[in-house]
């Protein structure tokens, strides 16, 4: 039973190893287990069942969706390390391990893209070197206590050698961060703590600019004040349940939060009248009482309100302009309908679940949603007056959006590579856009082809590639170039103009 006196019921069937959960809104989910305690079947609120299959050692082998499709499949070595995972399209990710059963290599699409990353360890089993799919090496260093002491990006000989260092106190708390260590532009940040481990101060460039940010806490550990280097103080005040009630910015502008008995945020008020002459005492534990006494209602206060149903879902919203939005849900808790009412409620109306809302069939806007068995939105229908506008979405076996059909039956299709990166988009006119990536997944080139294609069958990488008619003069192309740290160092626009970007040793862009 929660703070609103609503009950969630749990029913146990020991014979069949089944647990049934009934929510206050009468949504039922059922979980069934094997004799070994493994969850093998879950039935959701719409009576759709997902099944889990295990091997004799209790390792998950398959996940089967409500349509009886295998959406996950796993292989293991003789000691139980997961060596391969295949998704709903059969695309694989392989893992390799050393003699100590530590993962040392990961291959995405090993028979195709073969995007390979590696991990190397020291004698104590700590990660020492990380090699990403682009071949960029990151080296990790540790102090005698085993804490991370430094991280060097692009650490190979001749690389960028971007070094970040970390220092700790005896309690293991980080007390300094040095970015760009060993360079003339290195930046140091120092941290200080209370005996309870709360950060009370951070100083950027402690031997130079001394940009100091300070934090204050109440006896419950809640942040009650933040003082920035320019002397601007933001205050926070909490109720007895440690919920944030008031936020007061440096200019005295106040935002107030109100909660229901279950601890849910039900109202946010942005007060039109700022508070002034605030003393330091008003950042102490008694701040809430002192500050609430100073607040005076004003006609220009902006207030939003939320009403929840018995399952704790936000059903009604009223914004600061008095506009009402209502949500309805299916038995899996997904939004099935959203109604935006054209007529506003008077400001003094108390919004509740049973509030009679002013309907206007010709001006109210409703949007209805439908989902597939995997919970992906497949249809959205906008109803406004006599209009009915439906958009449909189709997905592949791993959840990539592959087709959108709008209300005018115009189709846009998308094609992905084996790493599930979108490569092609083909609009209703047959215009093709293409994305190219580096091994780390960064977008390096985008091309919009001038010549449309006619695609009659399935959209795949092979079929689209075969239909392309490149035109070097008319195709529009943009490029991005990245350094070994993943920072964009240059871009080339569709007209061929090049923009270069330069960075200092700590990663700040200093010129373009």
| Domain boundary assignment for the chain | 1-76, 227-295, 301-395
Provide mean pLDDT across the span 378-393.
95
With 80 as the cut, is the pLDDT of residue 341 above it?
yes
> In this predicted structure, what is the pLDDT of residue 290?
81
With 70 as the cut, is the pLDDT of residue 479 above it?
yes
> In this predicted structure, what is the pLDDT of residue 1?
54
- CA–CA separation, 431 vs 168, rounded Å? 56
> In this predicted structure, what is the pLDDT of residue 415?
98
Buried b / exposed e along 279-292 (16+ C-beta atoms within 10 A): eeebbeeebbeebe
The per-residue pLDDT for range 208-265, each reduced to its tens digit, is 999 999 999 988 999 999 999 999 999 999 999 999 999 999 999 999 999 999 999 9
Percent of the chain with pLDDT over 70: 98
Higher pLDDT, 101 or 294: 101
The per-residue pLDDT for range 31-55, each reduced to its tens digit, is 999 999 999 999 999 999 999 999 9
Cα distances (angstroms) measured from residue 79 to each of 38, 104, 468: 19, 16, 48
With 80 as the cut, is the pLDDT of residue 286 above it?
no
Percent of the chain with pLDDT over 90: 87
Beta bridge partners of 87: 72
Query: 59-63, 142-146, 290-294, 415-419: lowest mean pLDDT where?
Result: 290-294
With 60 as the cut, is the pLDDT of residue 463 above it?
yes
301-395 adopts what CATH topology? Lipocalin (2.40.128)
Beta bridge partners of 490: 481, 500
Cα distances (angstroms) measured from residue 381 to each of 388, 412, 430: 7, 18, 25
> In this predicted structure, what is the pLDDT of residue 284?
57
| CA nearest neighbour of 237 among 289, 197, 272 | 289
SS (H, E, C) 299-352: CCCEEEEEEECCCCCEEEEECCCCCEEEEEECCCCCEEEEEECCCCCCCCCCCC
Beta bridge partners of 267: 258, 305
The four Cα atoms 450, 453, 459, 462 give a dihedral, to 10 degrees, of -80
> In this predicted structure, what is the pLDDT of residue 279?
72
| CA nearest neighbour of 71 among 418, 397, 416, 372 | 397
> In this predicted structure, what is the pLDDT of residue 292?
87
Query: 77-81, 95-99, 288-292, 443-447: lowest mean pLDDT where?
Result: 288-292
> In this predicted structure, what is the pLDDT of residue 285?
53
């Amino acid at each position: 039973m929660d703070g609103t006196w609503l009950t969630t019921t749990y029913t146990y069937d020991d014979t069949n190893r089944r647990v049934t959960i009934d929510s206050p809104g009468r949504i039922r989910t059922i979980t069934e287990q094997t004799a070994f305690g493994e969850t093998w079947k879950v039935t959701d609120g719409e009576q759709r069942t997902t099944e889990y299959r295990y091997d004799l050692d209790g390792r998950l082998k398959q996940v089967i969706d409500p349509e009886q499709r295998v959406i996950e499949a796993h292989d293991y070595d003789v000691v139980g390390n997961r060596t391969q995972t295949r998704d709903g399209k059969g695309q694989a990710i392989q893992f390799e391990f050393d003699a100590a059963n530590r993962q040392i290599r990961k291959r995405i699409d090993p028979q195709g893209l073969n995007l390979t990353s590696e991990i190397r360890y020291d004698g104590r089993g700590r990660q020492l070197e990380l090699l990403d799919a682009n071949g960029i090496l990151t080296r990790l260093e540790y102090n005698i206590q085993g804490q991370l002491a430094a991280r060097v990006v692009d650490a190979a000989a001749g690389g960028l050698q971007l070094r970040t260092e970390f220092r700790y106190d005896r309690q293991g708390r980080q007390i300094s961060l040095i970015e760009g260590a060993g360079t003339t532009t290195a930046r140091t940040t120092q941290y200080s703590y209370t005996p309870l481990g709360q950060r009370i101060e951070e100083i950027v460039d402690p031997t130079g600019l001394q940009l100091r940010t300070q934090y204050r806490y109440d006896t419950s550990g809640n942040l009650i004040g933040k003082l920035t280097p320019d002397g601007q103080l933001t205050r926070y005040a909490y109720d007895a349940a440690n919920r944030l009630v008031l936020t007061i910015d440096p200019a005295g502008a106040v935002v107030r939060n109100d909660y229901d008995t279950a601890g849910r945020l039900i109202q946010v008020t942005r007060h039109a009248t700022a508070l002034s002459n605030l003393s330091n005492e008003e950042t102490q534990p008694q701040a809430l009482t002192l500050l609430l006494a100073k607040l005076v209602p004003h006609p220009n206060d902006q207030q939003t309100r939320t009403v929840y149903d018995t399952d704790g879902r936000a059903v009604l919203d009223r914004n600061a302009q008095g506009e009402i939005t209502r949500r309805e849900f299916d038995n899996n808790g997904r939004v099935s309908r959203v109604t935006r009412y054209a007529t506003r409620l008077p400001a003094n109306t108390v919004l509740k679940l049973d509030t009679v809302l002013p309907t206007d069939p010709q001006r109210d806007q409703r949007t209805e949603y439908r989902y597939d068995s995997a919970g992906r939105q497949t249809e959205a229908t906008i109803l406004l007056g006599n209009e009915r506008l439906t958009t449909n979405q189709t997905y592949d076996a791993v959840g990539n959006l592959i087709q959108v059909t709008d209300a005018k039956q115009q189709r846009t299709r998308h094609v992905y590579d084996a790493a599930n990166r979108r490569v092609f988009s083909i609009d209703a006119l047959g215009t093709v856009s293409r994305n190219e990536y580096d091994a780390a997944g960064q977008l390096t080139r985008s091309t919009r082809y001038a010549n449309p294609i006619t695609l009659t069958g399935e959209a795949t990488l092979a079929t689209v590639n075969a239909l392309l008619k490149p035109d070097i003069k008319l195709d529009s192309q943009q490029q991005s170039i990245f350094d070994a740290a993943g920072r964009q160092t240059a871009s080339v626009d569709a007209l061929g103009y090049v923009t270069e970007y330069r960075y200092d040793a700590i990663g700040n862009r200093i010129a373009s």
